[in-house]
Chain A
Amino acid sequence: MLIRKLWRDFKGQKWQIVAVVIVVLLGISLFDASYLAYQNLQRSYSATEQRTHMADMTVQVTSISPEQTAAVRDIPGVATAISQLVQPFPVIVLHGRTEEKATARIEAQGRFISIPLHEQPKLNQVVVISGHYPTSDNEVLVERHFAEYQHLEPGNTFLIETPAGSRVFQVAGIAVSPDYLWVARNRQDIFPSPADFGVFFIPRQGLTSIGRAAIHVQGHRASMQLQLAATGTDGNTLLYSLTPGANSAQVLSRVKSVLGAQNVLSATPRKDEVGAQLLQMDLNGFQEMAGAFPLFFLIVAAFIVAALMNRMVNRERPLIGTMMALGVRRRTILGHYLSMALTIGVVGSTVGTVAGLAMGNFMTTEYANELHIPFVSVEVNFAVLLAGVAMGLLAPLLAGLLPAIRASQLQPAEAMRPFVSQPTLPLQKLRNIWQPQWNKIPRQPNQHGNRRRNWVPFWLRLTLRDVARRPGRTAATAIGIMAALALVVTTAGLKDSMTRGINLSFTQSVHYDLRADFYSPQSAPSAVDEAHGIPGVTNVETITTLPVEVANLATGKTYDTSLQGLPPESPLLQLRSSGGTLLAPEPGKAIVSSSIATKLGLKVGDKIRVKVLPSGRSIILPIQALDFSVIGNSVTLASASVATDFHMTGKATTLLLKVSPGKTVAVRVALEKLPTVVQVQDEQAFRSQVQQLMGLMNVLLAMMLMFAVILAAAILFNTATLNVLERQREFATMRALGYPLGGIVGLVTASNGIIGVIGLILGFPVALLVLRQFLNLYTSDLFTMPFWLYPETIAISIIGVLLVLFLAQWPALGAVRRMNLAEASKMRE
């Protein structure tokens, strides 16, 4: 019988029940999906790294011989060690399978990584996704990103530009490498466009033949790397893996002894590799989402359940008393009311778990496909699902426990008495204090003959007291709105921060169209003259960039970055602080990227040592200012300082060019033909890549907005409906007194509006806190986002939440309009 009653109770308030079930469902599905995706992707990365035998440490050196490599293998703690040669070459991609049939020639910069012929290297293996592993020294594997963008397929031909002329190579296959799931050129360039940068895996013999041909042409003038290539055996990169339990720092120290400390350019553990770091940032985002957002939903669900059950128990007091009088046991009453909460939890958790599992698998698969993770692990983690179910059950159960206990503890006689709702106790206590004293004040009657006066308009009095009469419910609703606002502002704030960062870093700072780097420092005036000679170039500037190590003198912590020398009033490249202030480098001082400052614990005024790698020349400077850059980082000195302190007078390593509209491609082609230029970066292509990322963010924004709307609508719908249901007699009485229908609609709207405003006021600090937390997840030395919210975002967020509030109360207002006054005026509270 009680089960039948429960079913009818559900039917009687089905929309409120549906609303709270949806909230539970969303919370659980969000938790399951995010956490399962996080675990699956983490497992997939680990599996990929294991199966491709990724090295634990990558050491860049000036050169390493086979004997040195063998010596490293003998170090206790080293499981495997190999050397590689990593060489940049310009490439020309031919559209058409052979050079003769080429319909287009695309020039780009290639990073060539040596691999053994016929067999995979012992460390850092690649996964061939189409074609075959190279079987001859003129075959290469092309990394997937570049291959897809350039429409390269196995069998295609392309050219490598060497000092000895173009060499034809054939694409043996397309490959994926865990190192290049996210292709980054270096820490300062994490978004190279596949239009002009690609990674290739080339048999060592291929590089050897290129090197020897170059030596033949250039002799001792050939670059050091070509000379290394010509040896056939030496490399410039050491990879090694550790035995289980090995002390990484100790092993590295011994490796440096073997190689010679001055020979070592950098040593990067696996987790600090650029690609690995960026991917881990994404994963951390999933993990954070799994923790923070579902909590909002479950808290709101708990509040709604508590409100529903409190009302039900209040309304059914006579029924409870009657049941007790009939002999129904208290624990049966307790169980009956708890079963409503439990049912909500069971339905919400079950559907939420199924949805979460499906969403988690979908997110894993889509993300893995997007990145082409070769070994994807999608598992059902029952512990996560059980945790989700437990949360989904616990939240409503705990919320319903107090009303259920209250119902079971009622005395039958008391339960069957009419229940008169009390004004809020604090309100009454306050009035009891001041009202008698106020009444003692003698006053003359006004023109209506009344001595008592209240300056507050009636509608406002009614509204404010309605808000105050159920502080628990008001607080719950305000918290629901707060949670919804936090969702909206966090998501919109992420986008605003990204937009602001891009604006600061690119629009306000970068005013050039192309950037050309030289193989080695060139005469600055000659380089400028040569560039001006290219049709379409409207402005040229030279800067000097050098690889450096920056050290915090106080702590000794170091960081590898690039140094750039800028003229004080550079028209093409301007540094900005996070506030947007233009920064001009002063002689004898350094401007440091804020990400480096955070990494090394630096602030303005601190002293740093800047040491050029590998020459070791260094200077000590105070920090003049911190500049902001979304991507990458650097230390900037006045060009005059770089010239004198690092012996670069009259020299430049980089050209910055402004070109006429429509001439970018032509100028770029001309630049790439220059023998001194090693790579050309197209700023527009780079920006369009970043814009693509923003497009992904819009998808996330839309999803989170949808969640926020559902959350706000669910709690507001329930609160507004409950408030109206509980005040039916009151509203009917007011209508009987002649209160206009529009006036009552206005009262309900005003009450909900005030609660909405309270929620918004409370919500903003919380939202800003959550936004900051999320931004911290995506902030590192590679990638920095400023904390930013545009005023229009704040305005739109507020208006949006208020709009949802207005719409969510509509069903309740409809109930007010349709109210049968005769019935409602006789209702017992």
Chain B
Amino acid sequence: MTTLVRLEGASKTYGNGVKTVALAPTTLEIPLGELVVILGPSGSGKSTLLNLMGALDMPTDGEVIVDGVHLQALSSRELSTFRRDKVGFIFQFYNLIPTLTAWENVELSAALSRRQEGIEAVLNLVDLRDVAHHFPAQLSGGQQQRVSIARALVKNPPLLLCDEPTGALDFETGKVVLGILESLVHNEGKTVVIVTHNNALAAMANRIIHLKDGQVVGNEEQSHPASAASLSW
């Protein structure tokens, strides 16, 4: 299978005096078209790993290559272009721009990647057509997260990075969101990486990466992942 994301000894250390190793040197590959769940307790380095993949942060050592692009070699402008074209982010707390409506939040992403077509289509996909003109404060958590997904999708990136996408949602709403993410992998061929501390989500993954204390302690494939609808936690 084609590798979309490759880490070669990538590590992340913080601090000038007392150094904290957020991620130990890590080598792993994520193929195209997989739903990957990164599991681990708080402080295990899950978000750090995700941030490195999405060029929100740079490794202290090692390399991160996404879709053939060596991220460390990119200038600031090129990193912006990379994030624009190659990556879609979905955050735990949605991170919608509060002064833009749902439509406009999606439109912002579309305008950046010059993909004005499909705003209405992605909002239909996440079933938010009727509330497209509402501001985030007027939407429920689930609706906001769906806007966030639409925003990430509209630019048609190959890679979607989700940091605790259901962390702030109730069970039913969380399952709806997971169902959307699952369909993106199966129907659109996206690669979706979900960071979570919720072990139940691992069942729907094609690949499960376990992290503990900044180290990858497990990397297993699942040949028959469960559907999002069947999950329970």
Contacts of B34 in A (CB 8 A): none
Contacts of A821 in B (CB 8 A): 51, 56-57
- Is B97 an interface position by the 8 A CB rule? yes
Known A-B contacts: A458-B111, A736-B95. Give 13 more (CB < 8 A).
A421-B98, A423-B98, A431-B135, A449-B121, A450-B119, A452-B120, A462-B97, A462-B100, A733-B96, A736-B89, A738-B112, A738-B113, A825-B91
- Is B224 an interface position by the 8 A CB rule? no
Contacts of A461 in B (CB 8 A): 100, 104
Contacts of B138 in A (CB 8 A): 428
Contacts of B137 in A (CB 8 A): 420-423
Given contacts A422-B98, A423-B99, A450-B120, contact A737 B104 (CB under 8 A): no
- Is A445 an interface position by the 8 A CB rule? yes
Q: Identify which of residues 207-232 in chain B touch chain A, using a CB-to-CB cut-off of 8 Å.
A: none
Contacts of B116 in A (CB 8 A): 448, 450
Contacts of A736 in B (CB 8 A): 54, 56, 83, 87, 89, 95
B157 shortest CB reach to chain A, Å:
10
Closest residue to A457 on the B side, CB-wise?
B111
Contact flags (1/0) for A718-751 with B, using CB distance below 8 Å?
A: 0000000000011011111111110000000000
* Cα of A822 to Cα of B52 in the assembled complex, Å: 9
B80 and A462 contact, CB distance less than 8 A: no
* Cα of A737 to Cα of B56 in the assembled complex, Å: 10
* Cα of A439 to Cα of B129 in the assembled complex, Å: 11
Given contacts A738-B113, A822-B56, contact A420 B92 (CB under 8 A): no
B99 and A469 contact, CB distance less than 8 A: yes
- Is A598 an interface position by the 8 A CB rule? no
Contacts of B103 in A (CB 8 A): 452
Contacts of B113 in A (CB 8 A): 738
* Cα of A825 to Cα of B195 in the assembled complex, Å: 15
Q: Identify which of residues 416-462 in chain A touch chain B, using a CB-to-CB cut-off of 8 Å.
A: 418, 420-423, 428, 431, 435-436, 439, 445, 447-452, 454, 458, 461-462
* Cα of A741 to Cα of B51 in the assembled complex, Å: 18
* Cα of A420 to Cα of B98 in the assembled complex, Å: 8
- Is A465 an interface position by the 8 A CB rule? yes
Q: Mind listing 21 A-B residue pairs with CB under 8 Å?
A: A422-B98, A452-B133, A462-B99, A466-B99, A730-B97, A733-B89, A735-B80, A736-B87, A737-B84, A738-B85, A738-B113, A739-B112, A740-B77, A740-B80, A741-B76, A741-B80, A821-B56, A821-B57, A822-B47, A822-B51, A825-B89
* Cα of A736 to Cα of B76 in the assembled complex, Å: 12
Contacts of B80 in A (CB 8 A): 735, 738-741
* Cα of A454 to Cα of B119 in the assembled complex, Å: 13
Given contacts A454-B104, A826-B92, A828-B93, contact A737 B98 (CB under 8 A): no
With beta carbons under 8 angstroms apart, the residue of A428, A439, A734 that contacts B135 is A428
A737 and B120 contact, CB distance less than 8 A: no
Q: Identify which of residues 38-62 in chain B touch chain A, using a CB-to-CB cut-off of 8 Å.
A: 47-48, 51, 54, 56-57
B99 and A465 contact, CB distance less than 8 A: yes
- Is B63 an interface position by the 8 A CB rule? no
Given contacts A449-B121, A825-B56, contact A738 B84 (CB under 8 A): yes
- Is A691 an interface position by the 8 A CB rule? no
Q: 5 closest Cβ contacts across the A-B interface?
A: A738-B84, A448-B117, A465-B99, A448-B116, A733-B95
- Is B143 an interface position by the 8 A CB rule? no
- Is A820 an interface position by the 8 A CB rule? yes
* Cα of A825 to Cα of B161 in the assembled complex, Å: 13
B120 and A449 contact, CB distance less than 8 A: yes
Q: Identify which of residues 113-167 in chain B touch chain A, using a CB-to-CB cut-off of 8 Å.
A: 113, 116-121, 132-133, 135-138, 151, 155, 163
* Cα of A436 to Cα of B148 in the assembled complex, Å: 23
- Is B81 an interface position by the 8 A CB rule? yes
With beta carbons under 8 angstroms apart, the residue of A431, A820, A822 that contacts B133 is A431
Contact flags (1/0) for B1-19 with A, using CB distance below 8 Å?
A: 0000000000000000000
Contacts of A428 in B (CB 8 A): 135, 138
With beta carbons under 8 angstroms apart, the residue of A435, A449, A732, A825 that contacts B117 is A449
A297 shortest CB reach to chain B, Å:
32
B120 and A825 contact, CB distance less than 8 A: no
* Cα of A423 to Cα of B135 in the assembled complex, Å: 8
* Cα of A436 to Cα of B116 in the assembled complex, Å: 23
Contacts of B196 in A (CB 8 A): none
Scoring B81, B95, B109, B137 by chain A CB atoms within 10 A of each residue's CB, the highest score goes to B95
A683 shortest CB reach to chain B, Å:
65
Given contacts A454-B104, A730-B98, A828-B93, contact A735 B83 (CB under 8 A): yes
| B residues adjacent to A (C-beta < 8 A) | 47-48, 51, 54, 56-57, 76-77, 80-85, 87, 89, 91-93, 95-100, 103-104, 107-109, 111-113, 116-121, 132-133, 135-138, 151, 155, 163, 168
| A residues adjacent to B (C-beta < 8 A) | 418, 420-423, 428, 431, 435-436, 439, 445, 447-452, 454, 458, 461-462, 465-466, 469, 729-730, 732-741, 820-822, 825-826, 828
* Cα of A418 to Cα of B168 in the assembled complex, Å: 10
* Cα of A739 to Cα of B91 in the assembled complex, Å: 17
* Cα of A739 to Cα of B151 in the assembled complex, Å: 13
* Cα of A447 to Cα of B133 in the assembled complex, Å: 21
* Cα of A826 to Cα of B93 in the assembled complex, Å: 8
Closest residue to B144 on the A side, CB-wise?
A420
With beta carbons under 8 angstroms apart, the residue of B92, B108, B117, B136 that contacts A737 is B108
With beta carbons under 8 angstroms apart, the residue of A418, A431, A822, A828 that contacts B48 is A822
Given contacts A458-B111, A740-B77, contact A451 B47 (CB under 8 A): no
A732 shortest CB reach to chain B, Å:
8
A423 shortest CB reach to chain B, Å:
5
Contacts of B132 in A (CB 8 A): 452
B120 and A826 contact, CB distance less than 8 A: no
Contacts of A740 in B (CB 8 A): 77, 80
Contacts of A826 in B (CB 8 A): 47, 91-93, 163
Closest residue to A729 on the B side, CB-wise?
B95
Given contacts A736-B83, A738-B113, contact A820 B98 (CB under 8 A): no
* Cα of A218 to Cα of B151 in the assembled complex, Å: 109
A733 and B99 contact, CB distance less than 8 A: no
Scoring A428, A448, A729 by chain B CB atoms within 10 A of each residue's CB, the highest score goes to A448
B97 and A420 contact, CB distance less than 8 A: no
A420 and B136 contact, CB distance less than 8 A: yes
B212 shortest CB reach to chain A, Å:
20
A452 shortest CB reach to chain B, Å:
6
* Cα of A730 to Cα of B97 in the assembled complex, Å: 6
A738 and B95 contact, CB distance less than 8 A: no
B109 and A737 contact, CB distance less than 8 A: yes
B81 and A738 contact, CB distance less than 8 A: yes
B133 and A825 contact, CB distance less than 8 A: no
* Cα of A736 to Cα of B163 in the assembled complex, Å: 13
A822 and B57 contact, CB distance less than 8 A: yes
Given contacts A420-B98, A421-B98, A735-B83, contact A458 B108 (CB under 8 A): yes
* Cα of A826 to Cα of B81 in the assembled complex, Å: 22
Closest residue to B91 on the A side, CB-wise?
A825
With beta carbons under 8 angstroms apart, the residue of A435, A448, A465, A820 that contacts B118 is A448
Contacts of B47 in A (CB 8 A): 822, 826
Scoring A447, A735, A736 by chain B CB atoms within 10 A of each residue's CB, the highest score goes to A736
Closest residue to A427 on the B side, CB-wise?
B99
* Cα of A428 to Cα of B137 in the assembled complex, Å: 10
* Cα of A654 to Cα of B81 in the assembled complex, Å: 84
Scoring B48, B107, B113 by chain A CB atoms within 10 A of each residue's CB, the highest score goes to B107
